[in-house]
Each structure stands twice: as structure tokens, then as C-alpha cells.
């Protein structure tokens, strides 16, 4: 019924469209500007201001002034047609359709609505303009429904749904379900109407929009009223009125009160109907809701007819007619005449009914008549606009093709740069690995040289001593056996010392050695180190002179012992027979320095220089025993103990200084 369509496509769409379209127009105008800079001009700005003002006229119900502005705007259509691109023209056509719908000129409204849809079809559908497109289709469906083309209206609504591609949890779908249900309700397909009203309710619940429940209950109330189930209709409409009141939706609340009164009249509960209608009439007049005011006046006519008060009934109709000049003149006049025709037909007043039928047809002809000149002008406009849109589309395709080519080149350059970078990185890594491998191989070769030199000599000596021991045992030469025993012990000590250094070297190169410092007395450290080498010193007649302070240092016990053993071993090994090895100490800020000095020939300067390098290699001492392995370990462990080792040659021999961190400073 027409009151349902009014509520659905008027009260719902007009405020919603005003918000959605203004937002979309701002966005789309920027997009249109990028397509054709020349089209975005001062004309568009002035039209935006004019549309905003006309929207305020429409909202306030000042339709006479609105009609004048619409006529002036249409007279300048050729100008704004030439200055607008597709998005802007769609925006303007939509507003023209909206204004003409409000003025009751549905045929012209339909024409502009189709223009808006046609322009939107030329654009690529994106989330950017989806909401606006849905609003345009919703409005077009409302116009078709007002004209009685319910099948076409439903087609437009289903077309809008397809744009969402399965995104059913979307607030825009609430309006689509609402309007599809209304169309089915009007044509009497109540099962389908109930299905879509239920979808509307479920989606409202899923999105948590409690204010939307009022629309659902209003829809169900109208459906039950159309089915003649007035009690069920009243129950739903009461719930709808409660929701509308709670959320301040006064226009919807007043409209539902009118529907509720119609149900009370149908059940002959006239007192309840009168209370609602009197209150509605006052409130709609106060709020200047003239369309709802006229609807209420028509319901009052039915109320007074039911009471048998024909005079009051026609007074109510006159009240409604007095407000038509403030509202949608043609549409509301048609509605009033339809009610009067029905009234006189039921009474048998066919002459009066015929009079109103004649007046009704005259109004309808004036509303839906479109003269041929306007039609030809509109077709010309459509042709020019389509031609312009085709040119813009071709430019867009060219731009897209050029952008794709540039993108391919850019991606190719980036890939090439990445490949070059990876190759350079791999080559650098290979170079580093090659250098490391060469150093490892060189170290291995030197290590084998050390083992061959330092380990082989004492092993051969042991083998010879074994033969001599056997010989002296057979001859019973005890004094010679005692001398051989001392030499055997010295050789074994040297072998053990070398093996200990080799083990430490292996652990160091595998990065498995750990630093565990404790507080330790320097004298005790030296005592343990000297205990290992006393026999070797006595065998060579070397005197060990020790003069250190009673001081505690903060060192790893194993590392510090290894450093001292290696340096004392080297000093004894290369000191002349009968000489003195002096071991002293001195304080340095934060360190205690242990000095070991021998009277040998010193250490080759080449060995000292290589030991100071970061990656000093192990160096064999030529005809002497090896310097490299023991000294390198001593250098490494000294640094690991947060100290350092310095070696230099002096007049009488070599001087080694080990810096050990003081326990107090650590």
C-alpha cells in the first residue's frame, strides 16, 4: 500500500541519502578531477552549495521554494553537463531524482535516476563507490515502487545485493532487505516478505544496531495488517513505537502511530485510535512533518466515518488538503482523492466518485506527462555524456597500459639489482671462506711441523734411553741407570707439557673454552707452576729466583696456570746451563705484573712481531724448540683473563710480563 512505500522510500532514504551522497561526492569529485582536470571548475563548487541548500529545503518541507530551485537548476543542465565527468554527473543526477521524487514528479525522477545508474555503470565498481551505488539503486527502486512497478523495483534491489558478492554482514544490506520485503508485502507475497524482514532482523542483531529493531517491528505490523491479522499487527507496531521513542526517531514514531490507529479503527477500538490520532496531528504540525500530518488527517477521516460523523470526517480531509501546499502536492492529492473515491463508491455516491476520478486523472496526467521536446533534449544529453565517458574510459585504459609497462620495467630493474647484490654477497662470502680455509690449512701444516719437531725428538730420545737402560741393567751399572732415570723424567715432562699445549690449542680453536674467574693468591699460582718445572731446572743447574708480593688476583685458575707454566718452561728451556731465571712482581694500576726473565739468547724479533698480530700464526723456531704454540696460548689466555702479556728482548735474554687483574679492582 502507498503508505508503506512512503515510509520506506521517503523517511528512510532521504536523510540517509543526504549523508551518503555528500560524502561520496567529495571523494568521487577528487577522482573525477584526476581523470580530466579541466572538468573540475567553479561550477561544480557552486552546484555543491546549491544542492546543500535545496536538501535543507527538502528536509524542512518547504517544497514550493524547492520546486523553483529545481526548475532553475534544470534550465542550466546543459552547462553543468559539459563541465562534469561521469562520477560528478551521476552525483548530480541522483540529487535531481531525489528532488523530483519529493516533489511528486515521478516520471522525471525516474529519468534522472536512470541517468545516475547509467553513469555509475561506466565506472569500475570499488568499495570506494559501493555505498553510493547502493543508495542510487535503492532510490530508483523506491521510484519504481511509487509508480507501481514492483517487479522492476525488486530487480534493482537484487542488483544492488549482487555488488556485495556474498558480504551479507554489511549495514547496507539492512535497507535492501527492508525494501525488498516492503515490495513483496505490497503485492501480497507475504511469505517472501516475512523472509526478508527476518533477514533484516537477524542482520540488525548481528551488527548490534538496536535502533534498527523499530523498523523490523513496523514492517511486520504492516504485513499483518495487510493480511487482516490486526491483533498481531498492533503487537508489532507497539514494539516499533517503543523502539522509535527510545532512540528519538520521532518521524518514524508518529508514522507508526498512524498505522496503529488504522488497526484500532479496523477492530472498532475507536477510543484508542482517537487518542493516537489527536496527539499525532498536534505533534506533526509542531514538527512541520507535513507528509505525516496529511497521512494522519486521512486516518482521522476513516475514524470519523467509523463514528458516523461525516462532517468531522470531511473537516479532517480539509485539514489535510490545507497542508498539501507545504508538501508533495501531486502525490498527496492523489492519495486523498483515492480515499474519497473509495468512500463514495462504498456509499453508492457514484456521481461524486466520478468527479474525484476526473480530478485524479487530470493530476496524474500532469505528473506523468513528458513532452517530446524534453525527451529529445534528454536523449541528446545522454548521447553527449556517453561519448564523453567513452573518451575518458579510453584515456584510462591508455594510462593503465602505460603504468603496467612502467611497473614491469621497475620490477625488472629491482630483480636485476637484487640478483647482482646476491652474487656480490656470495662472492664476498666465498672469498672470506677461502681465506679462512687457507689460514686453517697453514695452521694445520705448522702444527704438524711442531708435532714432528718437538714431539718426535723426545720420543726418539726415550727410545734410545730404553736401550741404554736395558744395557746398564745387564751390566749392573747403577750410577748410569740413575742418570738415565733423571733424563727420562725430563723427556717425559717435556712431552707432557707439549701435549697439554696441544690440547689447550684444540679447545681454544673450537671456541669451547670458558672463563670462570676466582680470587687466587699469586704466590700459590707460582708455587704450583714451579713444582712442574723444578726437576728440569735442577737438571740444567738453573737457579729459580722468586720474589713476589702476597697479593690476590682475579683470574681463571686453569688459564693463569697455563700462562705461567709456558713462560717458565720457555725460560728454563732456553736459559744457559748454570744461569738464573728471575721471577718477580710489581703493582700497576688495577693489575699485578709478574715478570719472568731468563739469561738466554732471547726470542727472534719476527716471532715477537707475529705474536702481536690479531691472527698471529704458530711459528717454528728453526733449529730450536718451538716458540709459537706455547707463547700463542699464553698470549690468548692472558687476554681472556682481562689482562695482557708483553714480551721483549733485553741484554741478557727475554723478559715476559704478565698483567693479572687485582681481585680488589675486579
The band of 20, judged by pLDDT with boundaries at 50, 70 and 90, is: very low
Q: Is 82 a domain residue? A: yes
Q: Is 29 a domain residue? A: yes
The residue count of the chain comes to 666
- In degrees and rounded to multiples of 5, residue 120 shows phi and psi of -65, -30
Q: Which of 20-29, 349-358, 446-455 has the lowest mean pLDDT?
A: 20-29
615 versus 249: the higher-pLDDT residue is 249
The band of 458, judged by pLDDT with boundaries at 50, 70 and 90, is: low
Last residue of a domain, one of 107, 124, 147: 147
> Which residues, in sequence order, are bridge partners of residue 553?
520, 662
- Give the model's pLDDT for residue 383: 46
The band of 201, judged by pLDDT with boundaries at 50, 70 and 90, is: very high
In angstroms, rounded to a whole number, what is the distance separating the alpha carbons of residues 43 and 34? 17
The band of 635, judged by pLDDT with boundaries at 50, 70 and 90, is: confident
- Give the model's pLDDT for residue 25: 47
The band of 537, judged by pLDDT with boundaries at 50, 70 and 90, is: confident
**Would you say the C-alpha torsion 264, 269, 270, 275 has a positive or negative sign?**
negative
- Give the model's pLDDT for residue 555: 92
Last residue of a domain, one of 101, 130, 147: 147
The band of 554, judged by pLDDT with boundaries at 50, 70 and 90, is: very high
The band of 305, judged by pLDDT with boundaries at 50, 70 and 90, is: confident
Last residue of a domain, one of 147, 180, 203: 147
In angstroms, rounded to a whole number, what is the distance separating the alpha carbons of residues 14 and 17? 5
- Give the model's pLDDT for residue 38: 41
In total, how many domains does the chain have? 2
- Give the model's pLDDT for residue 37: 40
SS3 234: helix
C-alpha dist (Å) from residue 597 to 1, 55, 567, 569, 570: 119, 105, 9, 12, 10
The boundaries of the domain holding residue 630 are 515-661
The band of 390, judged by pLDDT with boundaries at 50, 70 and 90, is: low
- Give the model's pLDDT for residue 223: 94
- Give the model's pLDDT for residue 450: 56
In angstroms, rounded to a whole number, what is the distance separating the alpha carbons of residues 418 and 314? 87
| DSSP at 452 | I
Cell 699445549 maps to which residue? 501
User: Would you tell me how many other CB atoms lie within 10 Å of the CB of residue 153?
Assistant: 28
Q: Is 644 a domain residue? A: yes
**Would you say the C-alpha torsion 486, 488, 491, 493 has a positive or negative sign?**
negative
Q: What is the mean pLDDT of residues 382-398?
A: 68
Q: Which of 53-67, 163-177, 502-516 has the lowest mean pLDDT?
A: 502-516
pLDDT digits (tens, 9 = 90+) for 564-593: 988 988 888 888 988 999 999 999 989 999
Q: Is 624 a domain residue? A: yes
Q: Which grid coordinates are listed for 589?
A: 694500576
Q: Which among 28-42, 255-269, 495-509, 627-641 has the top mean pLDDT? A: 255-269
In angstroms, rounded to a whole number, what is the distance separating the alpha carbons of residues 141 and 119? 17
- Give the model's pLDDT for residue 389: 66
Q: What is the mean pLDDT of residues 525-548?
A: 85
Q: Is 594 a domain residue? A: yes
Q: Which residues of 82-94 are buried (b: 16+ CB within 10 A; e: fewer)?
A: ebbbbbbbbbbbb
Cβ-contact 81, 381 below 8 angstroms: yes
Q: Which among 74-78, 96-100, 126-130, 280-284 has the top mean pLDDT? A: 96-100
User: CATH number of the domain that 537 lies in?
Assistant: 3.30.565.10
471 versus 381: the higher-pLDDT residue is 471
CA end-to-end distance (rounded Å), the chain: 97
Judged against a pLDDT cut of 50, whether residue 33 lies above it is answered with no
Judged against a pLDDT cut of 60, whether residue 327 lies above it is answered with no
Cell 477500538 maps to which residue? 269
Q: Is 543 a domain residue? A: yes
- Give the model's pLDDT for residue 168: 74
Judged against a pLDDT cut of 70, whether residue 337 lies above it is answered with yes
Q: What is the mean pLDDT of the chain?
A: 79
In angstroms, rounded to a whole number, what is the distance separating the alpha carbons of residues 25 and 445? 82
Judged against a pLDDT cut of 50, whether residue 215 lies above it is answered with yes
Cell 562534469 maps to which residue? 84
In angstroms, rounded to a whole number, what is the distance separating the alpha carbons of residues 531 and 488? 17
Q: Is 419 a domain residue? A: no
Q: Which grid coordinates are listed for 642?
A: 682481562
In angstroms, rounded to a whole number, what is the distance separating the alpha carbons of residues 613 and 610? 5
Q: Is 448 a domain residue? A: no
The band of 488, judged by pLDDT with boundaries at 50, 70 and 90, is: confident
Amino acid at each position: 500500500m502507498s503508505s508503506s512505500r512512503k515510509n520506506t522510500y521517503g523517511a528512510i532514504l532521504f536523510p540517509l541519502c543526504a549523508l551518503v551522497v555528500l560524502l561520496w561526492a567529495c571523494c568521487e569529485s577528487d577522482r573525477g578531477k584526476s581523470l580530466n582536470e579541466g572538468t573540475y571548475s567553479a561550477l561544480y563548487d557552486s552546484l555543491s552549495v546549491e544542492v546543500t541548500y535545496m536538501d535543507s529545503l527538502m528536509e524542512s518541507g518547504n517544497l514550493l521554494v524547492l520546486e523553483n530551485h529545481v526548475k532553475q537548476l534544470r534550465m542550466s543542465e546543459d552547462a553543468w553537463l559539459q563541465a562534469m565527468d561521469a562520477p560528478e554527473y551521476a552525483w548530480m543526477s541522483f540529487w535531481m531524482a531525489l528532488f523530483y521524487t519529493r516533489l511528486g514528479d515521478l516520471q522525471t525522477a525516474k529519468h534522472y535516476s536512470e541517468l545516475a545508474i547509467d553513469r555509475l555503470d561506466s565506472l569500475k565498481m570499488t568499495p570506494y563507490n559501493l555505498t553510493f551505488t547502493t543508495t542510487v539503486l535503492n532510490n530508483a527502486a523506491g521510484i519504481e515502487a511509487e509508480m507501481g512497478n514492483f517487479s522492476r523495483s525488486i530487480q534493482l534491489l537484487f542488483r544492488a545485493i549482487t555488488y556485495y558478492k556474498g558480504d551479507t554482514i554489511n549495514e547496507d544490506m539492512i535497507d535492501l532487505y527492508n525494501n525488498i520485503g516492503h515490495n513483496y508485502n505490497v503485492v501480497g507475497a507475504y511469505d517472501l516478505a516475512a523472509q526478508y524482514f527476518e533477514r533484516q532482523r537477524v542482520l540488525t542483531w548481528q551488527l548490534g544496531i538496536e535502533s534498527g529493531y523499530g523498523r523490523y517491528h513496523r514492517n511486520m505490523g504492516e504485513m499483518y495488517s495487510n493480511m487482516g491479522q490486526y491483533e498481531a499487527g498492533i503487537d508489532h507496531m507497539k514494539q516499533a513505537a517503543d523502539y522509535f521513542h527510545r532512540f528519538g526517531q520521532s518521524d518514524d514514531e508518529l508514522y507508526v502511530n498512524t498505522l496503529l490507529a488504522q488497526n484500532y479503527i479496523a477492530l472498532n477500538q475507536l477510543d484508542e485510535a482517537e487518542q493516537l490520532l489527536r496527539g499525532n496531528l498536534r505533534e506533526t504540525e509542531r514538527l512541520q512533518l507535513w507528509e505525516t500530518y496529511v497521512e494522519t488527517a486521512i486516518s482521522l477521516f476513516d475514524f470519523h466515518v467509523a463514528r458516523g460523523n461525516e462532517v468531522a470526517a470531511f473537516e479532517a480531509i480539509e485539514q489535510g488538503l490545507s497542508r498539501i501546499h507545504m508538501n508533495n502536492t501531486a502525490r498527496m492529492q492523489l492519495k486523498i482523492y483515492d480515499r474519497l473515491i473509495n468512500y463514495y463508491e462504498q456509499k453508492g455516491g457514484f456521481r461524486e466518485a466520478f468527479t474525484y476520478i476526473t480530478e485524479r486523472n487530470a493530476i496524474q496526467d500532469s505528473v506523468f506527462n513528458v513532452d517530446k521536446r524534453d525527451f529529445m533534449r534528454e536523449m541528446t544529453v545522454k548521447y553527449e555524456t556517453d561519448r564523453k565517458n567513452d573518451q575518458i574510459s579510453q584515456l584510462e585504459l591508455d594510462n593503465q597500459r602505460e603504468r603496467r609497462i612502467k611497473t614491469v620495467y621497475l620490477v625488472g630493474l629491482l630483480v636485476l639489482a637484487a640478483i647482482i647484490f646476491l652474487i656480490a654477497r656470495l662472492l664476498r662470502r666465498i672469498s672470506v671462506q677461502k681465506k679462512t680455509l687457507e689460514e686453517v690449512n697453514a695452521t694445520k701444516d705448522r702444527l704438524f711441523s711442531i708435532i714432528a719437531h718437538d714431539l718426535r725428538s723426545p720420543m726418539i730420545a726415550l727410545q734410545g734411553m730404553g736401550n741404554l737402560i736395558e744395557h746398564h741393567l745387564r751390566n749392573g751399572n747403577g750410577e748410569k741407570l740413575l742418570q738415565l732415570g733423571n733424563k727420562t723424567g725430563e723427556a717425559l715432562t717435556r712431552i707432557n707439557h707439549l701435549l697439554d699445549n696441544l690440547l689447550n690449542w684444540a679447545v681454544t680453536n673450537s671456541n669451547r673454552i670458558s672463563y670462570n674467574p676466582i680470587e687466587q693468591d699469586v704466590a700459590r699460582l707460582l708455587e704450583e707452576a714451579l713444582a712442574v718445572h723444578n726437576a728440569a731446572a735442577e737438571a740444567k743447574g738453573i737457579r729459580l729466583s722468586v720474589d713476589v708480593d702476597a697479593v690476590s688476583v682475579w683470574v681463571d685458575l686453569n688459564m693463569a696456570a697455563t700462562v705461567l707454566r709456558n713462560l717458565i718452561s720457555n725460560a728454563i728451556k732456553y736459559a744457559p746451563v748454570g744461569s738464573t731465571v728471575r721471577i718477580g712482581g710489581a703493582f700497576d694500576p688495577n693489575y699485578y705484573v709478574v715478570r719472568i726473565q731468563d739469561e738466554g739468547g732471547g726470542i727472534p724479533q719476527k716471532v715477537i712481531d707475529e705474536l702481536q698480530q690479531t691472527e698471529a700464526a704458530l711459528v717454528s723456531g728453526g733449529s730450536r724448540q718451538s716458540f709459537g704454540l706455547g707463547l700463542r696460548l699464553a698470549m690468548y689466555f692472558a687476554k681472556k683473563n682481562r689482562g695482557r702479556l708483553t714480551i721483549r728482548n733485553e741484554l741478557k735474554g727475554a723478559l715476559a710480563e704478565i698483567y693479572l687483574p687485582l681481585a680488589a679492582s675486579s
